[in-house]
Copies of this chain bind each other. A is one copy, B any other.
Amino acid sequence: MITIKEIAKELNMSTTTVSNVIHGKTGEVSDATIKIVEDYLKKVDYVPNINARNLAQNESKIIGVALKARADKYENLLMDPFVSELIGGIEESIRNAGYFMMLYISRDTDEIMRHVSTWNVDGLLLFGMIGDDGIRVSERYKKPIVCIDTYSIEGLKHFTNVGLDDDKGCFEMVNYMISQGHRRIAFLSDNLNGVDFARYSGYKRALEANNIEFEDNWFFKIKPRSDELAESLNELCDRATNFDAIMCVSDLYAVQLMTALSDRGVRVPDDISIAGFDDTILGQLHRPSLSTVHQDVKEKGVVATDILLKRIKGENVPKQVQLPTRLIIRDTIKQI
């Protein structure tokens, strides 16, 4: 690891000159020295020490990406294709912008805050925040924040949210199901907060709009933790036979349910219709292929990152972005 100081000594010039050449401030340096320095830099393959640079400039060129994991959810959050596709989009944008990505997964908001302040990250991308988590972080961390899929009106004073019209997406799908003759339609998710609640609301709106009365046991609560999943699926399958269709809050759950159903001889869509949400690889590869509400997950990551980078540059950005959804009708909803 050669340093500017060493280069300067070797070349019999000052560190300032070397630094100026490195930063292309060539207006202040003679062509001859530029050449000398540039050649030498290439020869010794100079790489700047970012820690020193950050210290001097009080910036880090790091974008912190913090995922909050719920205790009852995946032991391994990244295994959800939705999450990994999102991270993929984020990583790519960060890299293309010349920034660096520091990925951090935690159940503990305090831990996340400590992490971002030590590293003095230039901006923060938050995913999985529930309730006022986002607000708590933004109160302590004063630099730009962009949240993904957070439902907090209050929070929008502090950060931009990039989300979806989840309500509408679900509304349209359930509406479609009803148009195909289904009436007893259950809703499956693992909770009723944030995004899940918005989708649940869209589901209920569609029922109401069609004069179908929702009953409490139409809500199917799945337990995603791997040690409870099988049993949970068991119970759900038993209840499922009373329904025409099930609207699932994600493709992952839809496919897990269909697999469980198939294992006990229940045929989709002949015996029951299923819809998902997200349009991930899981539903695309399943047969019958899953009818679902499409969202561009990678794009979501890209948009969120772009907005964050703009805010870092001091540009004006919207408080809220709602990406569109689109119905993808494939083969898991039959007409009855």
Interface residues of A in 99-140 (CB under 8 A from B): 100-106, 114-115, 117-120, 140
Q: Are B285 and A120 in contact (CB under 8 A)?
A: no
Among A1, A51, A285, find the residue whose CB has the most chain B CB atoms closer than 10 A.
A51
CB neighbours (8 Å) of A119 from chain B are 50-51, 100
Known: A79-B84, A285-B259, A285-B282. A50 touches B298 (CB 8 A): no
Interface of A is mostly: helix
The verdict on A54 contacting chain B, using a C-beta distance below 8 Å, is yes
Chain B residue with the shortest CB-CB distance to A280? B79
Closest Cβ of chain B to A126, distance in Å, is 17
Q: Are A101 and B100 in contact (CB under 8 A)?
A: no
The verdict on A55 contacting chain B, using a C-beta distance below 8 Å, is yes
Q: Are A1 and B120 in contact (CB under 8 A)?
A: yes
Chain B residue with the shortest CB-CB distance to A59? B51
Interface size counted on chain A using CB atoms at 8 A? 50
Q: Are B100 and A100 in contact (CB under 8 A)?
A: no
Q: Which 3 A-B pairs have the closest CB atoms?
A: A84-B84, A78-B88, A76-B88
CB neighbours (8 Å) of A47 from chain B are 114, 117-118
**Which residues of A are in contact with B by a Cβ distance under 8 Å?**
1, 45, 47-52, 54-55, 60, 76-79, 81, 83-85, 87-89, 91-92, 95, 100-106, 114-115, 117-120, 140, 255-256, 259, 262-263, 281-282, 285-287, 298
Q: Are B91 and A50 in contact (CB under 8 A)?
A: no
| Copies, count | 2
Q: How far is the CA of A48 from the CA of B281 in the complex (A)?
A: 42
Q: Are B114 and A105 in contact (CB under 8 A)?
A: no
Q: How far is the CA of A89 from the CA of B75 in the complex (A)?
A: 10
Q: Are A91 and B103 in contact (CB under 8 A)?
A: yes
Q: Among B50, B77, B120, point to the contact of A88 (Cβ < 8 A).
A: B77
Closest Cβ of chain B to A47, distance in Å, is 4
Q: Are B50 and A285 in contact (CB under 8 A)?
A: no
Q: Are B79 and A281 in contact (CB under 8 A)?
A: yes
Known: A78-B85, A88-B77, A102-B102. A118 touches B282 (CB 8 A): no
CB neighbours (8 Å) of A118 from chain B are 47-50
Told that A78-B78, A101-B103 touch, could you supply 15 new A-B pairs with CB distance under 8 A?
Answer: A45-B140, A50-B51, A50-B120, A51-B55, A76-B85, A76-B92, A79-B85, A83-B84, A84-B84, A100-B102, A101-B102, A255-B285, A259-B287, A262-B287, A286-B286
Closest Cβ of chain B to A120, distance in Å, is 6
Q: Are A120 and B51 in contact (CB under 8 A)?
A: yes
CB neighbours (8 Å) of A259 from chain B are 285-287
Known: A285-B256, A286-B285. A84 touches B78 (CB 8 A): yes
Q: How far is the CA of A74 from the CA of B298 in the complex (A)?
A: 13
Q: How far is the CA of A169 from the CA of B241 in the complex (A)?
A: 41
Q: How far is the CA of A118 from the CA of B55 in the complex (A)?
A: 14
Closest Cβ of chain B to A107, distance in Å, is 11
Closest Cβ of chain B to A312, distance in Å, is 17
Closest Cβ of chain B to A6, distance in Å, is 15
Q: How far is the CA of A100 from the CA of B62 in the complex (A)?
A: 12
CB neighbours (8 Å) of A49 from chain B are 55, 118, 120
